[in-house]
Structure 1
Amino acid sequence: MKNTRRNFIKNTAAASALIAATPVKSFAILHKDSQPDDHIIGQGGFTYKVDKNWAKISVNSNPLANCHEMVQDSKGRLIMLGDHTHNNILIFDKSGKLLDYWGTALPGGHGLSISKEGDEDFLLLTDCGWALDRTGNGYGQSGQVLKTTLDGKLIFAIGHPRTIGIYKDDEPFKPTETAVAPNGDIYVADGYGSDYIIQYNSKGQYIRHFGGRHNTNKDHNLINAHGVTVDTRDKNNPTLICTSREENCFKIFTLDGKFIKRIDMPGMYVCRAVINEQHIYAGVCWSKDANGKRFDYSGFVTVLDANDKVVSNPGGAAPVYKNGVLQPTLQATSPVFQHGHDVCVDEDKNIYVCQWNAYHTAPVKLTRV
């Protein structure tokens, strides 16, 4: 692989201020699962065999910090974005073999979406503006969104909304996710910044923004707008599924930003919604304990049907409904995941789980059984 490709972002004006690769602070305590790696998890027909050794990579040649998100391209390859600047992008085949890697200047590499335009795929990469300095301590900076080809050629960048008068001087921009509508419009979730969803056209030109934290109707607010997804299951009425992670829910909006409804996910700090056929899949970054407090080093995967009902929680307790209301869901007694950050579902309905803050581990494969 050419060195120029791995350094493409570093050499662009849009990202010239990004820092170089830095070592990641080691965790003092190693997590030990109480279940073997090949046990079966999930419920309701959505059950899976766990394979934590799916990714065939060496931490010496391809070190990992956090595996944030993964998508599948038109050739069936699995593309992962992380925040280790030795290799922001890792590309696997379905057997876990590493095919390619590139990118050295996204210290806050966080959100990854794929845009299919005709016969060509493009990537939308989100840097949330969070990084580690050379001593291993965290610090923040402004984020950005980049559109690239699959091999890393920069098409354009979307910078701070303040530069075009959208944000006030005291409103931070730390984007976490993007989604692309059928007409090419791009939606950016500012989930670590000011919690707006910002809509741009296919060329990155501003259209509108909505959400945030200061609406009179609190249902319109987003608190940790971590993810955004274009839902085209009803092709005549596409909508946006927006994550309000601190509220443990998804909120549904029209494509022009009008609030429709919320889907409560009690006990679950859900990340972006991933749609496969008629189901929604999502990583759960934390769950709550029996006392209703957020439980660190927890998390699992959740699956919803076409009626927004949870049908399975791989790595979590089985869903329980009382009088049609979902009850708080706890992590499974024997932990499988730490901070499920994103999922990718392939054509065989297998799930690939990316984890944040999980001891530098590679994605976990869940094979449908």
Structure 2
Amino acid sequence: MRLRFLFLLLPSLALAHPDHGAEPGKDVHEAVLTGSGAWTYEAVPHWGELPEGKNIGPTHGGVVIDPRTGLIYVSTDAPHGILVYKPDGKLEKSIAPECQGFHAMAVKEERGKTYIYGAQLSGPKPLRVCKIDTNGKIVLEISQATAGDVQGGWNGLTAVTVAPDGDIFCSMGYGEQFIHKFDAKGKHLKTFGGKGNGDGQTSCSHGMAVDTRFGKPRLLVCDRENRRLVHFDLDGNWIGVHATGLRRPCTVSILGDVCAVAELEARVTILDKEGNPVSFLGDNPDKGQWAQYPVPLDQIKLGLFTAPHGLSFDKDGNLYVQDWNASGRVTKLQKVKKP
């Protein structure tokens, strides 16, 4: 564990940071390399920008990919709700304005259709979990009214994910750190976790995903302020620590045997199945920009991050990363194909 922590602190000499003679964020038309080895990426210039220089709106949310169509769904805190992009960065549509403020999202195919699960922290109807179709229609809602008097209260909702059998998990990462489990129809089944830094506890259970890399599915939780990833089984029993020494992990996305971690302190890290880092992406050398919400877009260099908050792999290993940002920022990292 100590070796893993030391490795995370080492400077990543393999990163190719942008330096094209242009001002940060301005007039950059060439892709910028970041990462190393098999996990080398190009940051795509101007991906996802809206016409006429409009901002996409504050981003304090997540990114998911529709496995059936390849469309990218980006949640925002703006009145338009969720933006839907084609892989080339062109805006397809916006959906679900009533779901403005999805802090996290998960995606699942069910009976040949794709559904998005969102944890709504803010917006017109905060503190609810919504299941919506890809046109934004709400088909299930879990709120304090439907959940009942759950342990630790119903506040500070930060994360949601869904198990293969349809069970739904949501986390009160800005509240008392409890994780609530519901069945596919929204019936409360159990509560587990709680605040702390010991086994079975978290300090800001900020994000989570169902992890199927170890046979029987597990819950992989971003224990942000303890700077680690932890595993529970789907009955809420503690399994153990998966990775430590991270820079305030917010969200994870799993592809094959690896997972990508959005770290609020200005970096994305790729971890192998054992929780060891294999590549660092977008590591920002300017610590003054780390975990900063109001950084103007024209002061952020392509290929670097300020506050990664949401991210998702697509089926080809490309990554879409959302910074926590007042104006709104999403970056496509396109995986470099090795000859």
TM over 0.5: yes
Q: Distance in 1 between matches of 2:57 and 2:164?
A: 33
Q: 2:138 aligns with which of 151, 154, 174?
A: 154
Is 1:124 aligned to 2:110, yes or no? no
Structure 2 equivalent of residue 301 of structure 1: 268
Q: 2:320 aligns with which of 345, 352, 360?
A: 352
Structure 1 equivalent of residue 127 of structure 2: 143
Q: 2:75 aligns with which of 67, 81, 87?
A: 81
Q: 1:181 aligns with which of 150, 157, 163?
A: 163
Is 1:311 aligned to 2:290, yes or no? no
CA, structure 1 residues 342+63, in 2 after alignment: closer, same or farther (shift >3 Å)? closer
Structure 2 equivalent of residue 342 of structure 1: 310
Q: Distance in 2 between matches of 1:230 and 1:152?
A: 23
1:335-360: per-residue Cα shift (whole Å, max 9, x none)? 71110112111122111111112642
Q: Stretches of 4+ moved more than 4 A in 1?
A: 33-37, 59-62
- 8 Å CA contact 2:102, 2:118 repeated in 1: yes
- 8 Å CA contact 1:142, 1:172 repeated in 2: no
CA deviation after TM superposition for structure 1 residue 38, in Å: 2.1
Q: Distance in 2 between matches of 1:125 and 1:166?
A: 19
1:170-221: per-residue Cα shift (whole Å, max 9, x none)? x45121111111111001011112211110000010010111116xx82211
Structure 2 SS opposite 1:129: coil
CA, structure 1 residues 112+154, in 2 after alignment: closer, same or farther (shift >3 Å)? same
CA, structure 1 residues 220+152, in 2 after alignment: closer, same or farther (shift >3 Å)? same
CA deviation after TM superposition for structure 1 residue 39, in Å: 1.9
Structure 1 equivalent of residue 6 of structure 2: none
Is 1:234 aligned to 2:214, yes or no? yes
Q: Distance in 2 between matches of 1:223 and 1:53?
A: 36
CA deviation after TM superposition for structure 1 residue 258, in Å: 0.8
Structure 1 equivalent of residue 229 of structure 2: 250
In structure 2, runs of 5+ residues without a counterpart are: 1-22, 285-289, 292-300
Which TM-score applies when normalising by structure 1? 0.74
- 8 Å CA contact 2:171, 2:206 repeated in 1: yes
Is 1:199 aligned to 2:181, yes or no? yes
- 8 Å CA contact 2:47, 2:88 repeated in 1: yes
Is 1:282 aligned to 2:261, yes or no? yes
- 8 Å CA contact 2:56, 2:327 repeated in 1: no
Q: Distance in 1 between matches of 2:126 and 2:63?
A: 23
Q: Distance in 1 between matches of 2:140 and 2:246?
A: 38
Q: 1:260 aligns with which of 197, 222, 239?
A: 239
Q: Distance in 2 between matches of 1:182 and 1:82?
A: 27
In structure 1, runs of 5+ residues without a counterpart are: 1-30, 132-140, 287-298, 318-329
**Counterpart amino acid of 2:306?**
Q
**Pairwise CA RMSD of aligned residues?**
2.8
1:241-261: per-residue Cα shift (whole Å, max 9, x none)? 011100000111111111111
- 8 Å CA contact 2:82, 2:100 repeated in 1: no
Q: 2:203 aligns with which of 211, 217, 223?
A: 223
- 8 Å CA contact 1:191, 1:225 repeated in 2: yes
Q: Distance in 2 between matches of 1:263 and 1:60?
A: 42
Structure 1 SS opposite 2:83: strand
CA, structure 1 residues 249+89, in 2 after alignment: closer, same or farther (shift >3 Å)? same
Q: Distance in 2 between matches of 1:337 and 1:106?
A: 26
Q: Distance in 1 between matches of 2:325 and 2:55?
A: 17
- 8 Å CA contact 2:75, 2:101 repeated in 1: no
